[in-house]
Amino acid sequence: MFLFKGEVNGTMAMLQLKKVHLERDEFELEEIAYALSEAKEEGKIKVFIVHQQQEPLTGMVMKMDANTKLIHIQNEAGDVYKVHFLDILEVLSAE
């Protein structure tokens, strides 16, 4: 859940937004979890298809945080992207 606090027309307003994830079955989630674990162990560059992102994300899995369910992906330029596990649709080989 995200909170936005700001000024609208001279008055303070608070807007509450909820992040929506796709609904998928357990088998699909297990496949993605396995592919992410394998990608982290291999240390190879992979292509990640992410929900509501126009371009695929290319990089290596650096960390998988079980508490926040965030997958830390580092691209070739060294930038780290934190993607929620449920937003990852597919993990592909970069070759």
Comparing 21 with 70, the larger pLDDT belongs to: 70
Q: pLDDT band at residue 4, thresholds of 50, 70 and 90? A: very low
Report the SS3 class of residue 26.
helix
d(CA 40, CA 43): 5
Mean pLDDT (whole number) for 61-84: 95
Q: Which two tokens mark 1? A: 């859940």
- pLDDT, tens digit, 9 for 90 and up, residues 7-65: 445 544 444 445 566 678 899 999 999 999 999 999 999 999 999 899 999 999 999 99
Residues near 90 by Cβ (< 8 Å), separated by ≥ 6? 32, 48, 49
Q: pLDDT band at residue 2, thresholds of 50, 70 and 90? A: very low
d(CA 5, CA 29): 34
What is the per-residue pLDDT for 1?
39
CB 50 within 8 A of CB 56: yes
d(CA 52, CA 50): 6
Q: pTM for this one?
A: 0.74
**Residue ranges covered by each domain of the chain:** 22-93
Q: What is the CATH number of domain 22-93?
A: 2.30.30.100
